[in-house]
A and B are shown apart, each in its own frame.
Chain A
Amino acid sequence: MDKEMDALLDALADLRAKANANAVFGNPVTAEGRTVIPVAKVAYGFGMGVGHGMMVEETGAEAVEAEESQEEEAGDSAGGGGGGLMAQPIAVVEVTPEGTRVQAVIDEQRLALAGGALAAWVVFWLTRTLVKIFGHEA
Protein backbone atom coordinates (compact mmCIF):
# COMPACT_ATOMS: atom_id res chain seq x y z
CA MET A 1 0.00 0.00 0.00
CA ASP A 2 2.85 2.35 0.80
CA LYS A 3 4.22 1.91 -2.69
CA GLU A 4 0.91 2.90 -4.28
CA MET A 5 0.55 5.95 -2.05
CA ASP A 6 4.13 6.97 -2.84
CA ALA A 7 3.39 6.61 -6.55
CA LEU A 8 0.33 8.84 -6.14
CA LEU A 9 2.23 11.55 -4.32
CA ASP A 10 5.19 11.32 -6.70
CA ALA A 11 2.89 11.74 -9.67
CA LEU A 12 1.24 14.77 -8.09
CA ALA A 13 4.60 16.31 -7.30
CA ASP A 14 5.82 15.59 -10.82
CA LEU A 15 2.83 17.48 -12.21
CA ARG A 16 4.15 20.81 -10.95
CA ALA A 17 7.66 20.05 -12.09
CA LYS A 18 6.46 19.35 -15.62
CA ALA A 19 4.40 22.51 -15.71
CA ASN A 20 7.12 24.82 -16.84
CA ALA A 21 6.89 27.67 -19.25
CA ASN A 22 8.88 25.92 -21.94
CA ALA A 23 6.05 23.47 -22.57
CA VAL A 24 4.12 26.05 -24.61
CA PHE A 25 6.95 27.06 -26.94
CA GLY A 26 7.99 24.53 -29.55
CA ASN A 27 11.44 23.93 -30.97
CA PRO A 28 12.69 26.70 -33.29
CA VAL A 29 12.68 25.75 -36.97
CA THR A 30 15.06 27.66 -39.23
CA ALA A 31 14.54 27.85 -42.97
CA GLU A 32 15.54 30.39 -45.61
CA GLY A 33 17.01 32.86 -43.14
CA ARG A 34 14.01 32.97 -40.83
CA THR A 35 13.30 31.10 -37.63
CA VAL A 36 9.81 30.08 -36.64
CA ILE A 37 8.77 29.11 -33.12
CA PRO A 38 5.29 27.60 -32.70
CA VAL A 39 3.36 28.75 -29.62
CA ALA A 40 0.46 26.81 -28.13
CA LYS A 41 -1.69 26.94 -25.05
CA VAL A 42 -1.41 23.73 -23.11
CA ALA A 43 -3.66 22.15 -20.52
CA TYR A 44 -3.25 18.81 -18.87
CA GLY A 45 -4.61 16.91 -15.94
CA PHE A 46 -4.75 13.54 -14.37
CA GLY A 47 -6.39 11.61 -11.60
CA MET A 48 -5.53 8.42 -9.83
CA GLY A 49 -6.64 6.34 -6.92
CA VAL A 50 -5.44 3.34 -4.98
CA GLY A 51 -7.18 1.18 -2.43
CA HIS A 52 -6.48 -1.72 -0.15
CA GLY A 53 -9.22 -3.76 1.43
CA MET A 54 -8.63 -5.97 4.44
CA MET A 55 -10.85 -9.07 4.30
CA VAL A 56 -11.32 -10.86 7.59
CA GLU A 57 -11.73 -14.57 6.96
CA GLU A 58 -13.17 -16.51 9.83
CA THR A 59 -12.00 -20.05 10.13
CA GLY A 60 -15.34 -21.24 11.43
CA ALA A 61 -17.85 -20.47 14.17
CA GLU A 62 -16.62 -23.13 16.48
CA ALA A 63 -13.04 -22.22 16.00
CA VAL A 64 -13.85 -18.57 16.70
CA GLU A 65 -15.44 -19.48 19.96
CA ALA A 66 -12.52 -21.64 20.85
CA GLU A 67 -9.88 -19.25 19.80
CA GLU A 68 -11.03 -15.72 19.16
CA SER A 69 -7.71 -14.48 17.98
CA GLN A 70 -7.45 -17.06 15.24
CA GLU A 71 -8.41 -14.79 12.40
CA GLU A 72 -6.63 -14.59 9.16
CA GLU A 73 -6.25 -11.28 7.48
CA ALA A 74 -6.08 -11.12 3.72
CA GLY A 75 -6.56 -8.27 1.34
CA ASP A 76 -6.41 -7.03 -2.17
CA SER A 77 -4.95 -3.87 -3.58
CA ALA A 78 -6.05 -2.09 -6.69
CA GLY A 79 -5.29 1.17 -8.30
CA GLY A 80 -5.81 3.08 -11.46
CA GLY A 81 -5.22 6.36 -13.07
CA GLY A 82 -5.54 8.35 -16.20
CA GLY A 83 -4.67 11.67 -17.70
CA GLY A 84 -5.14 13.88 -20.66
CA LEU A 85 -3.28 16.58 -22.51
CA MET A 86 -4.56 19.29 -24.80
CA ALA A 87 -2.42 21.60 -26.88
CA GLN A 88 -3.91 24.24 -29.12
CA PRO A 89 -1.72 26.38 -31.40
CA ILE A 90 -2.41 30.09 -30.95
CA ALA A 91 0.52 31.86 -32.57
CA VAL A 92 3.80 31.62 -34.38
CA VAL A 93 6.86 33.69 -33.47
CA GLU A 94 8.78 34.63 -36.58
CA VAL A 95 12.36 35.80 -36.17
CA THR A 96 14.01 37.42 -39.17
CA PRO A 97 17.12 39.61 -39.43
CA GLU A 98 14.74 42.61 -39.56
CA GLY A 99 13.02 41.79 -36.29
CA THR A 100 10.73 39.54 -34.29
CA ARG A 101 6.99 39.42 -34.79
CA VAL A 102 4.11 37.32 -33.58
CA GLN A 103 1.57 36.01 -36.05
CA ALA A 104 -1.71 34.78 -34.63
CA VAL A 105 -3.05 31.39 -35.61
CA ILE A 106 -6.81 31.49 -36.04
CA ASP A 107 -8.85 28.33 -35.62
CA GLU A 108 -11.20 28.83 -38.56
CA GLN A 109 -13.16 25.66 -37.91
CA ARG A 110 -14.07 26.70 -34.36
CA LEU A 111 -14.93 30.19 -35.48
CA ALA A 112 -17.13 28.86 -38.29
CA LEU A 113 -18.98 26.59 -35.88
CA ALA A 114 -19.42 29.36 -33.32
CA GLY A 115 -20.46 31.81 -36.04
CA GLY A 116 -23.08 29.36 -37.30
CA ALA A 117 -24.42 28.87 -33.80
CA LEU A 118 -24.54 32.65 -33.25
CA ALA A 119 -26.35 33.17 -36.56
CA ALA A 120 -28.96 30.55 -35.61
CA TRP A 121 -29.36 32.23 -32.20
CA VAL A 122 -29.85 35.66 -33.80
CA VAL A 123 -32.38 34.32 -36.33
CA PHE A 124 -34.32 32.68 -33.49
CA TRP A 125 -34.49 35.89 -31.45
CA LEU A 126 -35.24 38.05 -34.48
CA THR A 127 -38.13 35.79 -35.51
CA ARG A 128 -39.45 35.76 -31.97
CA THR A 129 -39.26 39.56 -31.80
CA LEU A 130 -41.03 40.03 -35.13
CA VAL A 131 -43.77 37.61 -34.12
CA LYS A 132 -44.22 39.50 -30.83
CA ILE A 133 -44.40 42.90 -32.50
CA PHE A 134 -46.52 42.10 -35.54
CA GLY A 135 -48.51 39.31 -33.91
CA HIS A 136 -49.50 41.75 -31.15
CA GLU A 137 -50.59 44.39 -33.65
CA ALA A 138 -52.67 41.88 -35.62
Chain B
Amino acid sequence: MSEQGIKRRHPVVSKVVEGEPIRVGGRELVPVVRMTTRMQRRALVGTERVSGRGWGAVRLRPIAILERSEEGERRIPIRNKTAQALSGFLLAAFIIPLLLAVAVRLARKE
Protein backbone atom coordinates (compact mmCIF):
# COMPACT_ATOMS: atom_id res chain seq x y z
CA MET B 1 0.00 0.00 0.00
CA SER B 2 1.56 3.29 -1.05
CA GLU B 3 0.44 6.55 0.44
CA GLN B 4 1.32 10.06 -0.46
CA GLY B 5 0.88 12.75 2.11
CA ILE B 6 0.48 16.46 1.67
CA LYS B 7 1.10 18.33 4.88
CA ARG B 8 0.49 22.04 5.04
CA ARG B 9 1.62 23.62 8.28
CA HIS B 10 0.86 27.28 8.70
CA PRO B 11 3.28 29.14 10.94
CA VAL B 12 2.14 30.79 14.14
CA VAL B 13 0.88 34.20 13.13
CA SER B 14 0.69 36.91 15.76
CA LYS B 15 -0.45 40.39 14.88
CA VAL B 16 -2.10 43.40 16.43
CA VAL B 17 -5.43 44.27 14.84
CA GLU B 18 -7.98 47.00 15.37
CA GLY B 19 -11.65 46.13 15.61
CA GLU B 20 -14.69 48.02 14.50
CA PRO B 21 -15.21 51.30 16.39
CA ILE B 22 -17.88 51.37 19.10
CA ARG B 23 -19.70 54.72 19.33
CA VAL B 24 -20.65 55.77 22.83
CA GLY B 25 -21.89 59.28 23.58
CA GLY B 26 -19.92 61.22 20.97
CA ARG B 27 -16.83 59.12 21.53
CA GLU B 28 -15.40 56.40 19.39
CA LEU B 29 -13.80 53.42 21.07
CA VAL B 30 -11.57 51.24 18.93
CA PRO B 31 -10.59 47.84 20.35
CA VAL B 32 -6.95 46.83 19.85
CA VAL B 33 -6.38 43.09 20.02
CA ARG B 34 -3.41 40.75 19.65
CA MET B 35 -4.51 37.83 17.49
CA THR B 36 -2.48 34.63 17.42
CA THR B 37 -3.46 31.87 15.02
CA ARG B 38 -2.07 28.43 14.30
CA MET B 39 -3.35 26.02 11.67
CA GLN B 40 -2.33 22.74 10.17
CA ARG B 41 -3.93 20.50 7.59
CA ARG B 42 -2.88 17.21 6.12
CA ALA B 43 -4.15 14.99 3.33
CA LEU B 44 -3.19 11.38 2.69
CA VAL B 45 -3.85 9.77 -0.66
CA GLY B 46 -3.26 6.05 -0.95
CA THR B 47 -4.32 3.12 -3.04
CA GLU B 48 -6.69 1.85 -0.37
CA ARG B 49 -7.69 5.00 1.44
CA VAL B 50 -7.92 8.74 1.17
CA SER B 51 -8.03 10.87 4.26
CA GLY B 52 -7.70 14.42 5.40
CA ARG B 53 -7.44 16.09 8.74
CA GLY B 54 -6.83 19.54 10.10
CA TRP B 55 -6.84 21.64 13.20
CA GLY B 56 -6.69 25.26 14.07
CA ALA B 57 -6.42 27.44 17.14
CA VAL B 58 -6.96 31.14 17.64
CA ARG B 59 -6.18 33.29 20.68
CA LEU B 60 -7.48 36.82 21.01
CA ARG B 61 -6.05 39.00 23.75
CA PRO B 62 -7.24 42.59 24.18
CA ILE B 63 -4.31 44.95 24.74
CA ALA B 64 -5.79 48.42 24.57
CA ILE B 65 -8.71 50.58 23.64
CA LEU B 66 -8.33 53.74 21.58
CA GLU B 67 -10.58 56.57 22.61
CA ARG B 68 -11.23 59.08 19.85
CA SER B 69 -13.11 62.22 20.75
CA GLU B 70 -13.11 65.90 19.88
CA GLU B 71 -10.16 66.38 22.24
CA GLY B 72 -8.06 63.89 20.34
CA GLU B 73 -6.98 60.27 20.55
CA ARG B 74 -6.05 58.49 23.79
CA ARG B 75 -4.74 54.96 24.18
CA ILE B 76 -5.99 53.20 27.32
CA PRO B 77 -4.08 49.96 28.03
CA ILE B 78 -6.00 46.87 29.16
CA ARG B 79 -4.02 44.78 31.62
CA ASN B 80 -4.86 41.26 32.70
CA LYS B 81 -4.26 41.68 36.42
CA THR B 82 -4.99 38.01 37.16
CA ALA B 83 -2.34 36.87 34.68
CA GLN B 84 0.14 39.41 36.09
CA ALA B 85 -0.45 38.13 39.64
CA LEU B 86 -0.12 34.51 38.52
CA SER B 87 3.16 35.36 36.77
CA GLY B 88 4.38 36.91 40.01
CA PHE B 89 3.46 33.74 41.91
CA LEU B 90 5.33 31.63 39.37
CA LEU B 91 8.41 33.83 39.62
CA ALA B 92 8.28 33.62 43.42
CA ALA B 93 7.98 29.83 43.19
CA PHE B 94 11.29 29.75 41.25
CA ILE B 95 13.15 32.36 43.29
CA ILE B 96 12.28 31.18 46.82
CA PRO B 97 13.97 27.74 46.52
CA LEU B 98 17.06 29.42 45.03
CA LEU B 99 17.27 31.87 47.93
CA LEU B 100 16.81 29.06 50.44
CA ALA B 101 19.54 27.02 48.73
CA VAL B 102 21.89 30.01 49.09
CA ALA B 103 20.87 30.28 52.76
CA VAL B 104 21.76 26.61 53.34
CA ARG B 105 25.19 27.11 51.72
CA LEU B 106 25.92 30.17 53.81
CA ALA B 107 24.80 28.40 57.00
CA ARG B 108 27.06 25.42 56.24
CA LYS B 109 30.07 27.67 55.58
CA GLU B 110 29.64 29.27 58.98
Asked whether, in the complex, the Cβ of B107 is within 8 Å of the Cβ of A133, the reply is: yes
Q: Is B2 an interface residue (CB 8 A)?
A: no
Query: Which residues of A have CB within 8 Å of B59?
Result: 41-43
The A contact surface, by secondary structure, is mixed
Asked whether, in the complex, the Cβ of A110 is within 8 Å of the Cβ of B25, the reply is: no
Number of A-B contacts (CB under 8 A): 186
Q: Is B12 an interface residue (CB 8 A)?
A: no
Chain A interface (Cβ < 8 Å from any Cβ of B): 1, 4-5, 8-9, 11-12, 15-16, 18-25, 28, 30, 35, 37, 39-54, 56, 90-91, 93, 95, 97, 100-102, 104-107, 110-111, 114-115, 117-118, 121-122, 125-126, 128-129, 132-133, 136
Chain B interface (Cβ < 8 Å from any Cβ of A): 17-20, 22, 24-25, 27, 29, 31-33, 35, 37, 39, 41, 43, 47-62, 65, 67, 74, 76-83, 85-86, 89, 92-93, 96-97, 100-101, 103-104, 107-108
